[in-house]
Amino acid sequence: MARPIVVHADWDTEAGVWVATTNDIRGLVTEAETLESLRAKLPSMILDLLEEAGVSDLPASIEIVARASDRLAAAE
């Protein structure tokens, strides 16, 4: 069974979007305003990139690892 594609989604505070990248597929970089939008966008992008690369062994799944951070400020 093929292993999952692991996609890292990082919140870009300045742009207000989730930026998705992966080391598993060359060329996968995309963004979306919500994680749900990102989840909807990724399957077709991944299939297109795999087809372009001539890969016929499809991954079992897509695993999204999301990371966001906020600065802490002392209460006044």
CATH fold, domain 5-67, is TTHA1013/TTHA0281-like (3.30.2390)
Helices within the chain (DSSP H only): 35-52
Of 40 and 70, more confident = 40
Is residue 64 within 8 A of residue 10, CB to CB? The reply is no
Compute how many other C-beta atoms are within 10 angstroms of the C-beta atom of residue 57: 8
pLDDT on residue 33? 97
Q: Encode pLDDT of 29-58 as tens digits.
A: 999 999 999 999 999 999 999 999 898 888
Query: Cα-flanking dihedrals φ and ψ of residue 21, to 5°?
Result: -140, 165
Tell me the percentage of the chain whose pLDDT exceeds 70.
99
Closest CA to 20 of 64, 52, 70, 55: 64
Closest CA to 26 of 4, 48, 10: 48
pLDDT, mean of residues 68-76? 84
The reply to whether the predicted model has a pTM over 0.95 is no
**pLDDT at residue 76 is higher than 80:** no
